[in-house]
Structure 1
Amino acid sequence: MRLFFVLLPVMVFFAHPVRAASDMEDVAGRILGKADGGTFDLPMLDSTLKVTIEGDMSTVEITQVFENPSLVPVEAEYLFPLNQNAAIYAMEMRVGDEIIQARIREKAKAQAEFEQAAVEGKSAALLTQHRPNMFTQRIANLMPGQPVTVVLRYVQMVPKIDDQYELVIPMIVGPRYDGTRLPDEFADLPDEDALQPANTWAVSKVPAYPLVAGLDVPDEVATDRVRLDLHFTSGVTASDFGSDTHPLTITQTEDGYSAQFAAGKVMDNRDLVLRYSLGGDVLEAATLSHTDERGGFISVMIEPPKVVDEDTAAPRELVFVLDTSGSMSGEPMSASKTFMDAALVGLRPGDYFRIIPFANTAQRFSNDALPATAANIRKARAYVRALSSGGGTEIDNAIRTAFSTRPVRDTMRIVVFLSDGYIGNEADVLRTIRNRIGSARIYAFGIGNSVNRYLLDAMADEGHGYARYVGVDEKAKEVARDLAADLKTPILTDIQIDWGELNVTGVTPSHLPDLFDGNSLRIYARHDGAGENTIHVKGVVQGRVAQMPVTIQTTGKPEHTALPLIWARNKISSLTRQVAVGENPDLANDEITKLGLEFSLQTQNTSFVAVSQTVVNSSGAAAEPVGVPLPMVSGVSKQAYPSGFSGSSSPEPETLLGLLLTAVMTLLGLRRRRTDELFLDTPIKRVKT
């Protein structure tokens, strides 16, 4: 009987031979997997981004349409990014005429509902968070000729960076190097955490990387996969609205702008970055409030005073930590070298510096910090020019090396970190920084078109510094030079809030970072007050104590309805950081789950799941899991995807046919040839009971 259940999908597969390429020449964007000389169609994806921006608050609706161009039912899995600050509050699934509103569940319960629906032959969608910026969408029983549409909605505040507001909409997950990946002989163990040493926290691994067009499968991904529909309004004058990452068609409206991709639809191989300026009165603090049945919520935005004087700035010890791993080869490495050259030329008299290039291991230009003399700078520039790329991305080891020497006396230590952040062990890096940062600062510079912003932003937060990004395009070297020439020192440090008579809880961020010229800081909290209150923002400006009173109106009326979601998402982010660094992780995890359920938010512990009422797969054949292929990240070479990354490490891609034949060979007692799974936690087969 057992043999029958395993062979059933195989018999169904051969009973419905996959269409040859010549039969489907009119299907745009189709990708063929290959196995033993045969081919089969992989799931296709079409997306629409609907973005609404009101001042510095944004609402994003992402529509994902999944299609199955083959003749057999499949379970599709799609790896994709979202902004790490996104408060994902709703999901719906559309199958034919049926519209299903997804429900938030604890992660295990959501997965159980999804699995049961899959066995029953129903359509189902399951959203799972692997990192704050990395998600998978699973679609059960994706049937030939019956598309499934999934709609996600989220809100977030738009941060102010270098005097402009910047909204980042990630569009592709880059590959993640994982130096802690299990050896092959342990890959089939059911519980990887069982291999962990005692008294250490287990952090879920990132999913294995999907098939990549042009690498694992033929380069046939359609160039028109994503559409943009954007509307911008503001109560004050707006200017400089546009994007350096994507050409836009922008139309001015009565109250703002509308925009679409100039090409109509684009490839999802680089992040979309939108920037704009807001005019009107210059405010150094602005507040938002909202009250409903859950209580009161408040947001305070702070900007630093304009008093910076570089002539009085303290000498610095600049520790340059430069990623030279394989994923940085080509244009990213070139931009990184340009940055380094400009930074070295811009060193001030009295500064000291070190250079630590790293890949699998960390190297050193010198054992100790060197004074920024003309001779030392000249040697350092030649050293950087001669660097080459290759190997893995062992960031944690590089950070430890950066802090391995004593700081130079009477200087401010600034660790300047340049990388794409393509790793899977973010928690190790953040834990190292928190334990070793002391009074130093970390400035994180992301090099690439789709970098790991979650890691780099978190490194900057833990390091009391800031993060900036250099896209790999024709302006990359110019941007790199500008950023390197302006390695800022913080203006407002040691920030504290005196809330006065206002009783607040759940303040985020829990550790208030320094403020730099052109930046702003938003602080969120719950409160139980009403009426007018005065709080005081306190800090240190160039060694002198400074403070600013801020008046807050808490009217008790619902004004900014998205504010509770944004507060909850920021609180979850703070708790997620606690888990990552091992700070009361049990309590933090419980609170994350509670907030996710209370505010209906996607988190690492809660998932949205949608299940149709209608049975769509009545064939008796189980849908086999296959991944939605991704394009290669723009500006990244094939060296970003070698063995050891969370990606395909075999020259032959895994295919549906290969999986089924492997199962049959195992039953017949033949030697099992191991194939890489598309996703580590995805079952290879499922049968109806």
Structure 2
Amino acid sequence: MMKQQSARLETRAGEAMTLKGVRFEGTLRGTLFEANLEQRFANPFDRHVELVYTFPLPWAAVLLGVEVQIGDRRLSGAVVEKKQAEQGYEDAIAEGNTAILLEQNFDDSYTLNLGNLAPGETCVVRLRYAQVLQFEQHGLRLVVPTVIAPRYGDPVADAGLKPHQVVEHDLMVVHPFELSLRVEGALARARIGSPSHPLSMRLEGEGETTAMVVSLARGGCLDRDFILVLDEVVQDSLALCAQDTQHAGAVSVLASFCPRVPASAHPLAVKILVDCSGSMQGDSIAAARRALQAILAGLREGERFSLSRFGSTVEHRSRALWRTSPATRLAGQRWAAQLQADLGGTEMEKALDSTLALAGAAAANLGAEEGAAPIDLLLITDGQIHAIDRTVAKARALGHRVFVVGIGSAPAEGVLRRLAEETGGACDFVASGEAVEPAVLRMFARLRSQRMASLELVWPAGAKPMWMSALPGSVFDGDAVTVWARFAQVPDGTVRLVGTRPHAVAPESLGEASLIAAEHDATLSRMAVAAQIEGLLTAEGAHSREALELAVAYQLVSPLTHLLLVETRAGADKPADMPDLVKVPSMLPAGFGGLGSLDFCIDPCMAPLTVNEAPQHYGSPATVSGAYFDFEDAFDAPVVLRSGRRSDRRDTLKKAGNYDIPAFLRRGSNQDARQPPRDDPRYWRAEPHYTGLTPLGLTQWLHSHPQAEWPQSYAELSRIGVGPAVLDWLKFVLAEGEGEALVVASFIQAMAQRDLHEALLSDTGTLGRLKALAKRVAPGATLKVMQDDPAAEPIVARLQVFVSTLRAERWPNCVFDLRDEVTALG
């Protein structure tokens, strides 16, 4: 039976590292990016091992080749059918030979299996891939993913991974990362920068041979995605032809368009959903707050929006879509500023279901209004989930477009792009520390783009493709639309992208490109086949046999094929036993779960760290600083004590048990007998859109406490259990610029009326209004609230109308709509 262990930093005496480092080289020509990824492994143990390493490649990248060097021997393998490769690998291991198996996993990550690496032996794996970058709002964004973050859910049941493919993370492991890129041609003159890494750049050559050489300004590690942004790019539609490598005369075509779509005249109606799960702690939730503030600032007067956040549960700030006004904007900004990543796991499917169904009747009526825009959903998340298929199906079934702002140093790009593209939406990303306003402006431009009812390509006369990739369900101004196709012979002329607006009769041209003469470009040809394989596997009644034959013929690793390499060892070099399984651990992304921040990266040259045992979960805000850090007892301290920086953290943590933990952190504390019972819905509500005291609960609290203890500020109202919806109504609607003390005092005096309390006690909850209350509390009654202050008069008058509409168990609609009750009644 094989033993299993994780390689990690163990002691100051030495290291037990299996992945020695990664080097990345790439060349960007136009929108075509070709890259070489070099992974260096070593066996530091005194026995044969089987190394297993799961790693990411970019979204829509096509793996073109693998070369392996063991010691000084260079080897190459072949792509074969999946089951054949797996059996061949196991047979080679059992026979004592060295074998390498490269798998494409169900979630589009890759797993490298390196079997029977001898003691002290080294192995270098070089992978070559290519991808077509997409113009997005007049720029290009190149992402080199380096790390897979922990994800919520069961990786086997939800993501379809095999146990050996599941990533294991180690808090103490460090994997060095080197990078060098060439940006050639006109792009070398673009404005180039990186929000993820400091860069060193130099310009080489002149004229058509000009190239910008980009490298890291200081040592990096595999703890964040590398991002290169090219702005101020002069973009245009293009069409490239490449002769097929397998069939004489056949031609593969890449057509990429940058459509011009006019903005819609309709106001937006958007549901905003923010991920507040534990994986968003640290840099990600801070970026989410900034993004949300920018989104709220970008809404125009009269446009509609709702606010929701989710983790293991869902919380809605409103029961329906708010109409943008000064009051709703201020309430939204206050809500955004208080966001915390404190809602546990990432139950995205349930959150989407709840948010898409939010205020169903009202939303339906809104969508039916003449000239009203359809309702979209804007999701802000790092996307760290496994169960994506059900989520995509749910969003598509409910008919909303989903627009996504991906947050963090290593967002799950594949998950987020699938969710956006398969629902007709779009996706943008904000790295930790990156300015969020440009991404938000780009997203608003997409949201306000005209919807096209249908898209189609018009090829030159007489040219008919034998195969063509599917067109997207939607198109946005300034975003690229890329299509692959195959022809029996070279098409000659111009290809046009056309679309039809809703309710329009004739299609209109969105972009056109002239077909360039075919070249012997094996890369483009194989990328077109990879797109065809993907289309065959995702189409109804998937054509697996045809896809398999194409993958083998063009030597492409796919869901149906693996790459297998076997080196036969001499009898004396074969092990006497099966190798030990060693899973290469992954670093945790910078800033993930509150661990460090984007500016944090362990220097690979520093002295090794000493640990007793790394924690087996994520979510702790502890920061590794390079000094001795003892985890013993550290996670017994409350998070509030672990989150700060202290000169001697070990002493602080070891003494944490002596601190007087605040009451709000104590569990099971005795509840004040004078408090309204929280298990009675008449006094306390716990709903997705409101948690806190009900009107009856507040009046009960006031009548059970002496006047000297009554709240005098918004913070004190919150402390006794008044929910944020009521506080926002007081602050942004009732106050109208008046001081906090006056507003709170007026509200408390109105709610403290004995007649009101008795009327609420008698409320059966079946009437729209409390008729008894209307009789007991006359609209003209005078409250004794700062009678000498004339500013109190309009507040008191409006509160009289407000209290006459109260029900025992719920606050009136004006609170949740952030409207004046007098105006609402009028």
**TMscore range, shorter length:** 0.7 to 0.9
Q: Pick one of 210, 225, 240 that aligns with 1:271.
A: 225
Post-superposition Cα deviations, 1:332-352, rounded to whole Å, max 9, x if no partner, equal 112112211221232222321
* Shift in CA distance, 454/645, structure 1 to aligned 2, threshold 3 Å: farther
| Alignment correspondent of 1:595 | 550
Q: Equivalents in 1 of 2:475, 2:417: separation in Å?
A: 14
Which residue in the other structure is 2:241 paired with? 289
Aligned-residue offset at 1:543? 7.0
Counterpart of 1:666? none
C-alpha distance in 2 between matches for 1:549 and 1:461: 20
SS of the residue 1:84 aligns to: coil
Structure 1 residue 433 and structure 2 residue 395: aligned?
yes
Q: Distance in 2 between matches of 1:321 and 1:589?
A: 37
Of 381, 384, 396, the residue aligned with 2:349 is: 396
CA distance in 1, matches of 2:430, 2:243: 40
Q: For 2:567, which of 599, 612, 617 is the aligned residue?
A: 612
Larger radius of gyration: 2
Structure 2 residue 448 is matched with structure 1 residue 495: no
Residue of structure 2 equivalent to 1:630 = 586
CA shift, 1:385, in A, is 3.0
- Aligned residues of 2:63 and 2:557 also touching (Cα < 8 A): yes
The letter for the 2-side match of 1:634 is A
* AA matched with 1:313: A
- 1:561 aligns to what? 522
Q: 1:452 to 1:237 in 2, by over 3 A?
A: closer
Q: Where does residue 31 of structure 1 map in the other structure? A: 8
Superposed CA deviations along residues 346-390 of structure 1, whole A, max 9, x for unmatched, are: 222232112221111222222322222322232233333333323
Change (3 A) 1:554 1:56: closer
Equivalent of 1:230, from 172, 181, 184?
181
Q: 2-side partners of 1:549 and 1:484: how far apart?
A: 21
Q: Which residue of 2 aligns with 1:262?
A: 216
Candidates 328, 350, 358, aligned match of 2:302? 350
Q: Please say which of residues 100-109 and 373-382 is displaced more in the overlay.
A: 373-382
CA distance in 2, matches of 1:114, 1:55: 39
Question: What does residue 213 of structure 1 align with?
Answer: 170
Report 1:148-227 matches (<5 A).
148-178=123-153, 203-204=160-161, 209-214=166-171, 219-221=172-174, 225-227=176-178
Q: Which residue of 2 aligns with 1:670?
A: none
Shift of 1:446: 0.5
Tell me which residue corresponds to 2:416. 456
Q: Specify the SS of the correspondent of 1:412.
A: coil
Q: Aligned pair in 2 of structure 1 residues 134, 540: CA closer, same or farther (>3 Å)?
A: same
Alignment of 1:521-560 (within 5 A): 521-540=481-500, 545-547=507-509, 550=512, 552-553=514-515, 555=517, 557-560=518-521
Pair 1:361 & 2:318 matched: no
* SS state at 1:398 partner: helix
CA shift in 2, pair 1:602/1:208, >3 Å: closer
- Structure 1's unaligned 5+ residue stretches are 1-5, 19-29, 183-191, 194-201, 653-689
What's the counterpart of residue 796 of structure 2? none
User: What's the CA shift string for 1:572-614, capped at 9, x where partnerless?
Assistant: 3444555xxxx43xx2444442332222111122111111133
Shift of 1:41: 2.7
Identify unmatched segments of 5+ residues in structure 2.
Answer: 597-613, 620-630, 633-826
Closer, same or farther: CA 207–143 of 1 in aligned 2, 3 Å: closer
Q: How much does 1:534 deviate?
A: 4.1
Whether 2:301 is the aligned partner of 1:340: answer no
State the match for 1:110 in structure 2.
85
Check whether the contact 1:76–1:140 (CA below 8 A) recurs between aligned residues. yes
Change (3 A) 1:324 1:572: farther
Contact 1:171 1:270 in 2 (8 A): yes
Q: Deviations over 1:561-580 (max 9, x none)?
A: 322222122233444555xx
* 1:77-96 matched pairs, under 5 angstroms: 77-96=52-71
CA distance in 2, matches of 1:386, 1:452: 25
Structure-1 separation of matches of 2:145 and 2:537 = 20
User: 3-state DSSP class of the match of 1:41?
Assistant: coil
Deviation for aligned residue 1:71: 1.6
Instruction: Give the secondary structure class of the aligned counterpart of 2:569.
Output: strand
Q: What is the Cα deviation at residue 132 of structure 1?
A: 5.3
- With over 3 angstroms needed to count, the CA separation of the structure-2 counterparts of 1:548 and 1:361, relative to structure 1, is closer
Q: CA deviation at 1:429?
A: 1.5
CA contact under 8 A between 1:290 and 1:559: conserved in structure 2?
yes
Q: Which stretch shows the higher mean deviation, 479-488 or 493-502?
A: 479-488
**Residue from 256, 264, 278 that aligns with 1:301:** 256
1:449–1:635 Cα contact (<8 Å) kept: yes
Equivalent-residue separation in structure 2 for 1:532 and 1:162 (angstroms): 30
Q: Is the 8 A contact 1:532 1:551 kept in 2?
A: no
The one-letter code matched in structure 1 to 2:381 is S
Equivalent-residue separation in structure 2 for 1:322 and 1:66 (angstroms):
40
Hey, what does 1:663 align to over in structure 2?
A: none
Match in the other structure for 2:430: 470
Please say if residues 86 and 154 of structure 1, whose CA atoms lie closer than 8 Å, have aligned partners that are also in contact: yes
Q: How does 1:47-86 map to 2 (within 5 A)?
A: 47-86=22-61
> After the TM superposition, which of the residue ranges 108-117 and 127-136 deviates more from structure 2?
127-136
What does the per-residue CA deviation read over 1:84-115, in whole Å, with 9 as the maximum and x for residues that have no partner? Answer: 21110211211123221121011221111111
Which residue of structure 2 lines up, in the alignment, with residue 516 of structure 1?
Answer: 476
Indicate the SS of the match to 2:592: coil
Instruction: Find the aligned partners of 1:538 and 1:158 in 2 and give their Cα distance.
Output: 22
Moved more, 102-111 or 41-50: 41-50
Count, aligned residues: 582
Return the alpha-carbon distance in structure 2 between the equivalents of residues 619 and 250 of structure 1: 48
Q: 1:505 aligns with which of 441, 447, 466?
A: 466
**Code of the aligned partner of 2:388:** E
Q: Evaluate the alpha carbon distance shift between residue 643 and residue 259 of structure 1 in structure 2; reply closer, same or farther with a 3 A threshold.
A: same
CA RMSD of aligned residues (A): 3.3
Counterpart CA distance in 1 for 2:320 and 2:164 is 39
Q: 1:47 to 1:333 in 2, by over 3 A?
A: same
Cα distance 1:619–1:536, how it changes in 2: closer, same or farther (>3 A)? closer
- The SS at the match of 1:160 is coil
Residues 171, 253 of structure 1: CA spacing in aligned structure 2 closer, same or farther, 3 A cutoff? same
Please tell me the residue identity of whatever aligns with 1:122: N
Contact 1:125–1:140 under 8 Å retained in 2? yes
Q: Which amino acid aligns with 1:606?
A: T
Three-state SS of the structure 1 residue aligned to 2:54 is strand
Higher relative contact order (CA 8 A, sep 6+): 1
Q: Deviations over 1:450-507 (max 9, x none)?
A: 111001111111122211111112x355556656775642257232213342111332
- Measured in 1, the distance between the counterparts of 2:130 and 2:107 equals 14
Structure 2 length as normaliser, TM-score?
A: 0.65
SS in 2 for 1:514: coil
Quote the Cα distance in structure 1 between the aligned partners of 2:403 and 2:70. 47
TM-superposed CA distance for 1:264, in Å, is: 5.4
Q: Is the 8 A contact 1:95 1:123 kept in 2?
A: no
CA distance in structure 1 between the aligned counterparts of 2:485 and 2:535, rounded to whole angstroms: 12
Deviations 1:19-50 (A, max 9, x none): xxxxxxxxxxx83459xxx9983423321112
Q: Report the CA distance between 1:135 and its aligned residue.
A: 1.2
Q: Give the TM-score taking structure 1 as reference length.
A: 0.77
Aligned counterparts of 2:180 and 2:254: Cα–Cα separation in 1: 28
Question: Conserved in 1, the CA contact under 8 Å of 2:285 and 2:339?
Answer: no
Q: CA deviation at 1:324?
A: 0.8
SS at match of 2:315: coil
User: Partner of 1:139: helix, strand, or coil?
Assistant: strand
- The whole-number CA distance in structure 2 between the counterparts of 1:487 and 1:619 is 60
1:298 alignment partner AA: V
Instruction: Name the one with the larger helix percent.
Output: 2
